[in-house]
Amino acid sequence: MKHPLRRQIVPMITTLALVMAGVIAAPAAPVASARPLMGGTAASQVEASSSAARKGLPKTRQKGIIPPGGIKASKTGGNTIDAELRESRPRADGYRHYDSAKLIERLTAMNANTYLFGIWESPTDWDDLRTEFAPRAQAAGIDIWVDLVPPSECQTNRGAAYLEGYCSRPYKMDYIAWARAIANLSLEFPNVKAWQIDDFLVAQNSELFTPTYLGQIKATQDAINPNLGFLTTMYLGDYTDEHLDKLAPYIDGTLLPYLGGSQSTSDPRFVESQLNSLLAKLSARNLDLILLTYTDRFLDASVPPSPEYVAEVLRRAAPYAAADRIGGVVAYGAPVNYDRRPTISSNNLANTGFGRLSFAQGNWTSATAGEYAEAYQQVSVTPDAVDHKLSFTTFDQVSRTPSKAGKLIKEVLVDDIPVWRSDIVDEFGFTWVPTHLSLHSVLKGKTSAKLSLRLYIAAATGHLPIDVGFDSLKPTGFRVLNPGFEDNNPATRDWQFRQASLNIYGSIERWTDHQAKDIFDVIAAHFGGQPAPGIPTTSDLPILNIPAAGREYWPGGSGTIQNSAMYGKGRLSLFVPERTATSTSSCVWAEQRVSVTPGLPRYELSWWDSDQYVGSLGGYHYKQVSLVTSKGKKLISNMDVAHDVNMWQNGQVLWGPIDITEFVQGESEVLLLFALCELQGVGDYMIDVGFDEIESVGLNIVNGNFEQGSTGWTIVDPHPAMHAQVLTAPGL
């Protein structure tokens, strides 16, 4: 089973601006280290806790749930891929269960002392925890924090089994029942130390988690085990006095998801400033703070985390954990299942090789006019060369849409003077475009010059997630070091960075076929007290001043990124070209007639889809999945492309695999259809929808990963403005 993406997070920019400007609370004094309470009666432990409280220790330390030096934890990754290790085959009940044995093996190799066990994706998760994982973890010396989702991430009570989605089962949104069950489990398995509910304060969740309800939760668990920890996840903008005063009597601490300046998993600059700004608030209320760092992709970040990024965030957090100022670190989405990962080429967006320069802004953020991010180096120039030229390629994830013009400008500068500027809407989106510049007039007679590549914010961007790439520099008459951005080692990469923006962040992105294992090894080294393998530990990326004003992808065409499959080299592509008109209700699709395995208790259908559009223009293109049985046609998924982010996702985001038992049970065969349909006709709204990794329990699908071209599939392409094909990357 694979993992969908969690819903969008919108941090508060005001707080971030204060952090950037240095207007933050002074670092809190280190809190004295405390050993966990061991042995004794519940009464004696409560008495010890009361004594500790008078000394100002966080409640987590009073209860003995935090070991010296903090937790070193991994957490199930709802935003990631294969992060929790499920068995490859369904059991007799029709579900893929946790692979507890292999998960314990990987956590031990990671040097983790704690695991946040997610109960969300399958109704079998709770039983897997109680009967399989908890006893194995106890034997291995690994503590457990039970990880539940709030109402905003619970898709239930929708009237039909195929509309039921992910939710923490069996108790769903009855958190008093959860408090009772987890407290009882903690008596059976003392390594069950705590539980946490995600996103207390997001969307409608705060309507449920009132002081009265939280008091009932606390009273229920305390009556069974008063030393069981209870925490929640709070984003940076949530830490107001109002929120903390409301929650402090009932919780023991918080998890802070670290997202850089805003919605970034490539920007490590703010770890210390964010921790410092929150510690004073939390320590005054005896609440602990645990840093959660993303170690795999995040829904609203434009660039996924690299091993270098993960190492840097962990390095910056280490002194806080070592001094017991924070309760430890959670590696969210740690790639414990690094064996099976998306193909390197689907993540490698470089034009040549495996490295590129990236300027990225996350989802639901807005850069301010005058901000920029820049990569630069001092280049050696031959002063009397016959000519001075620069060729390079560039791409961005924006189509030529007039509403996006005039906001983000790609620039090349020589000695801080722009010599080339291009609006992100100028070039064809999602494709590497070659550019050739004559620099003879600005370099002739010089022996050196500063060469800069920049993304400049000309106007406030609003909601405009972006990843702009530069690659394959070819100079004439001067020398550029690391012109292909193949070296991303901060100590040797030659390019320096100026990050003069809260949200736009520049970095060298380099992907390898062992990216996930590299990240795993970085986490294991950190948790084991060793230097990160092959990554310098002395780098420090400074926060620079903000300007005063701001305080195939596409099928066909030259320069196309080679492989956009999720796994392997093949995928289904359903697309509408740029500047092409379509008509309402037109569709293209691929279909396959498949046999049904008889007599199973449960049948499911799972797939991954993607599209390269992140947008606010909804109601046009729809990704549709249908079943045709002897009873007729059933539309089981109908998703607006504007709803999703531009990365591979498991089906319907918070639904995951679809339970299709009611439609296929008793059938000998069914027809599957994967389609792109137009709800309204369009004139210029290009799109490329991908389907890949189509899997099932009970349906005998042929070539569901499209690795054998179109074998097993019939392509139905009746509309000249819309196209369907199986894309297979050559030479892979």
Helix (H, G, I), strand (E, B) or coil at 376: strand
Cα(472)–Cα(435) distance, rounded to whole angstroms? 10
At residue 34, the pLDDT reads 28
At residue 158, the pLDDT reads 66
Decide: 651 and 4 in contact? Cβ < 8 Å: yes
- CB-hemisphere CA count at 13 Å for 639? 25
Cα(405)–Cα(350) distance, rounded to whole angstroms? 25
Instruction: Indicate the pairing of strand 496-500 with strand 372-381.
Output: antiparallel
Cα(86)–Cα(64) distance, rounded to whole angstroms? 31
The letter for the amino acid at 294 is Y
Angle in degrees, 0-180, between the axes of helices 13-21 and 271-283, rounded to the nearest 10: 110
At residue 627, the pLDDT reads 98
pLDDT digits (tens, 9 = 90+) for 504-550: 999 999 888 788 899 999 999 999 999 888 764 433 333 333 333 32
At residue 682, the pLDDT reads 86
How far CA 723 is from CA of 228, 474, 535, 565, 643, in Å, comes to 57, 36, 45, 17, 22
Q: Could you count the other beta carbons within 10 Å of the beta carbon of residue 545?
A: 11
The encoded tokens of residue 42 equal 């519940």
In eight-state DSSP terms, residue 560 is B
CB contact set of 676 (below 8 Å; sequence gap of 6+): 574, 575, 576, 587, 588, 589, 621, 622, 623, 624, 687, 689, 722, 724
* Residue numbers in the chain where pLDDT is lower than 70: 1-55, 78-80, 82-83, 157-158, 341-346, 398-402, 428-430, 535-563, 612-616, 644-646, 653-654, 730-732
Cα-Cα end-to-end distance for the chain = 26
At residue 82, the pLDDT reads 64
- DSSP codes, 664-725: HTT-SEEEEEEEEEESS--SS--EEEEEEEEEEESB--SSTT-TTTTTT-EEE---TT-EEE
At residue 13, the pLDDT reads 28
CB contact set of 720 (below 8 Å; sequence gap of 6+): none
Cα(721)–Cα(718) distance, rounded to whole angstroms? 9
* H or E segment and range at residue 422: strand 417-423
At residue 11, the pLDDT reads 33
At residue 92, the pLDDT reads 94
Describe the strand order of the beta sheet including 433-438 as a list of residue ranges: 433-438, 389-396, 466-476, 355-361, 505-510
C-alpha 379: how far from chain center: 36
Cα(196)–Cα(148) distance, rounded to whole angstroms? 6
Angle in degrees, 0-180, between the axes of helices 307-322 and 515-527, rounded to the nearest 10: 10
In eight-state DSSP terms, residue 237 is G
At residue 687, the pLDDT reads 85
Letter string b/e over residues 520-531, b meaning 16 or more CB atoms within 10 A of that residue's CB? bbbbbbbbeeee
Phi, psi angle pair for 316, to nearest 5°: -70, -30
Give this prediction's pTM: 0.88
Cα(635)–Cα(29) distance, rounded to whole angstroms? 59
At residue 550, the pLDDT reads 27
pLDDT digits (tens, 9 = 90+) for 79-120: 667 667 899 899 999 999 999 999 999 999 999 999 999 999
The encoded tokens of residue 592 equal 């396959």
Cα(594)–Cα(599) distance, rounded to whole angstroms? 16
At residue 650, the pLDDT reads 82
Q: Which of 720, 690, 674, 9 is nearest to 332 (CA)?
A: 9
* H or E segment and range at residue 72: strand 71-75
At residue 380, the pLDDT reads 98
Cα(177)–Cα(190) distance, rounded to whole angstroms? 19
The letter for the amino acid at 382 is T
* H or E segment and range at residue 396: strand 389-396
